[in-house]
Amino acid sequence: MFSVSLKSRNSPLQKLDGRTKLIFLAVIFILVLLFTDLLYITALLALVLAAWFIAKLPTQPLKEMLQFFVWIAVIILVVQVFFYPGTTNLVHISKPVPAIGFSGYLTLEGILFGLAMVLRLVVIMIVAPLMVMTTPLPELMLALVKLKIPYKFAFIMTTALSLLPSIQNRSAIIQQAQLCRGISYDSGGKFITKLKASVSLLIPLILGAFRDSQTLEVAMNSRAFGAPIKRTFLLESRFTPVDILVIAGTFTLLTVGVMLRIRGFGVY
Amino acid sequence: MDISLSFHLKDKKMPPLIEFQHVTYAYSKASIPAIKDISFSVEKGEFIALIGPSGAGKSTLCYCFNGSIPQLFGGTMSGNLQVAGCDPFQDGTPVLAQHVGLVVQNARTQLFNVSVIQEVGFGCENLGLPREEILKRVSGALEFVGLTGFEDREPGALSGGQQQRLAIACVLAMNPEILVLDEPTSELDPIGGEQVMEVIARLNRELGKTIILVTHDMDFVAKYADRVLLLCDGSLFMNDVPQKIFSNFELLKNARIRPPQVCEIMHDLKENGYHLPDFPITLEGTLQVLKEMQYA
């Protein structure tokens, strides 16, 4: 499983204010959902990948994410390719099945739309970790709070992210303990065996997480979490000229995107 | 932080800092109470050791001090309870947190921030302190527990002893009058445990903090505690000075508590007919007695 912890230190992206990166993230999300044209979505993917490399992030998490996504992508592609109502027929497959919207042909528009949908999900999948991997969690929380997200919500979100490594560690410990007692996680095993093994892993993992969450609640309350006092922050957050520039560029991109969409560009 | 300005207060004329009167508590769906008819008081600056066998209700009692019981755990509670002028029945845990710092048994699960500085500053941020004050307090607390220089480290990457000292620093930065520590050394190696215990002793000695410590380390209790509360099956079995508790072997046997090793030696000497001028409970006291008996 890929890790979404902070991986970029001292890169231009890491130096940006958390709010700048959140605005960029939101704009990419909006744009990728606005367009269905493969060309436009590819351009957005190129932008996100460029940001990934500017952030000097390792390519390994990218590979792991794509490996994880490959089967989902195949399913999406197949569904869109066969069921998108295109006009340029390429290959005749079978008789039309109107009940499920299948024309009987594999169409050019279907292929392009299918690829666009896959790339749309790839963009969404990459841009969120890009944010987390370039922003220390306290900065992310502060950015959310400054953007008027309720503190408790921001805290829950960032704490959940910060606890992921410890859940992964606990999972590894349970697996080791169960391996010692004869439970096999062998990938060569039957599906039912694997399912049973994962149940025996999930139950102690969830129960342990519940137990820890109670201790965590006690610990947080012992440190005045939720006190009826206006909270302050140890971290400081300030926009630099680079932030202003990036935000201006991001909003320009959004404006151009919306204008193009209104004029009918970027969709099939 | 006024760590350096604090001093040890044991003014017996002051009203008790903590007062339990006939407190009984049962967890929700439990048929029998976890603690039964507990009454005691604690003066400002006292070092109280809470001892007893497993399942005696020590942790339950700890959660009462900062209102986690009954506010977070639910259940049914009766009796009267006053902690630093607050009523844990009425005042929320975040309010009580300004007076009571609670360090639970498992250090790892109570640390949830990504860096030591964030972890220690968390409580101060919740109290709405200015940034400069937070930095001052964080620095003071880390220095006190011997973790200066660890500010940017990940709490999860620290050793068990360091994590426990960090947990202490987290509550210390909030400058509470009372520190409640529930078996802080139970998962530590001897050296890590010793370092944590040393910090706890200094909190009482140098900063005048009122300490409530749950521990099975009877040598430490004998050396540092002003008073011992012995719990057994949810009831307060005994409330006395360590000397009285550790010299009462019959009582300790009934409560399934093993006394400090030196007490066992003294007890055996006494049983074998040796006349002891005193019944020491610490190593230093034992050496003194043995000198007097001309064995050392």
Q: Which residue matches tokens 């999860």?
A: B156
Distance from the Cα of A239 to chain B's closest Cα (Å) equals 19
The domain in which residue A209 lies consists of 149-237
Q: Which residue matches tokens 């299948």?
A: A102
Residue A54, both tokens: 């500017």
pLDDT surpasses 60 at B9: no
The answer to whether residue B9 is domain-embedded is no
Residues A214 and A261 occupy one common structural domain: no
Residues A118 and A175 occupy one common structural domain: no
- B79 in Cβ contact with B159 (< 8 Å): no
Contact A212 B68 (CB under 8 A): no
Collect all residues of chain B within an 8 Å Cβ-Cβ radius of residue A220. 112
Distance CA A36, CA B149 (A): 52
**Residue A188: what pLDDT?**
59
pLDDT surpasses 50 at B33: yes
Q: Using alpha carbons only, what angle is made at residue B261 by residues B191 and B267, rounded to the nearest 5 degrees?
A: 170
What is the average pLDDT across B152-168? Answer: 91
Domain count, chain A: 2
Q: Using alpha carbons only, what angle is made at residue B119 by residues B168 and A6, rounded to the nearest 5 degrees?
A: 145
The answer to whether residue B127 is domain-embedded is no
DSSP B16: P
Residues B251 and B271 occupy one common structural domain: no
Is residue B284 helix, strand or coil? Answer: helix
The answer to whether residue A143 is domain-embedded is no
The domain in which residue B269 lies consists of 260-296
The pLDDT tens digits of the residues spanning A135-194 come to 888 889 999 999 999 998 999 888 888 888 788 888 888 888 888 887 776 655 666 777
Distance CA B79, CA B69 (A): 13
Contact A215 B113 (CB under 8 A): no
Residue numbers of chain A with a pLDDT score lower than 70: 1-9, 101, 185-191
The pLDDT tens digits of the residues spanning B224-252 come to 999 999 999 999 999 999 999 998 888 88
Domain count, chain B: 2
pLDDT surpasses 70 at B18: yes
Is residue B24 helix, strand or coil? Answer: strand
Residues B25 and B102 occupy one common structural domain: yes
Contact B94 A219 (CB under 8 A): no
CATH of the domain at B85: 3.40.50.300
Is residue B229 helix, strand or coil? Answer: strand
The pLDDT tens digits of the residues spanning B88-123 come to 888 888 889 999 999 988 888 888 888 999 999 999
Residues A92 and A14 occupy one common structural domain: yes
Angstrom CA distances, B145 to A96, A177, B137, stand at 76, 35, 12
Residues B252 and B213 occupy one common structural domain: yes
Residues A205 and A154 occupy one common structural domain: yes
Residues B94 and B186 occupy one common structural domain: yes
**Residue A7: what pLDDT?**
60
Distance CA A186, CA A175 (A): 11
**Residue B10: what pLDDT?**
47
Contact A224 B138 (CB under 8 A): no
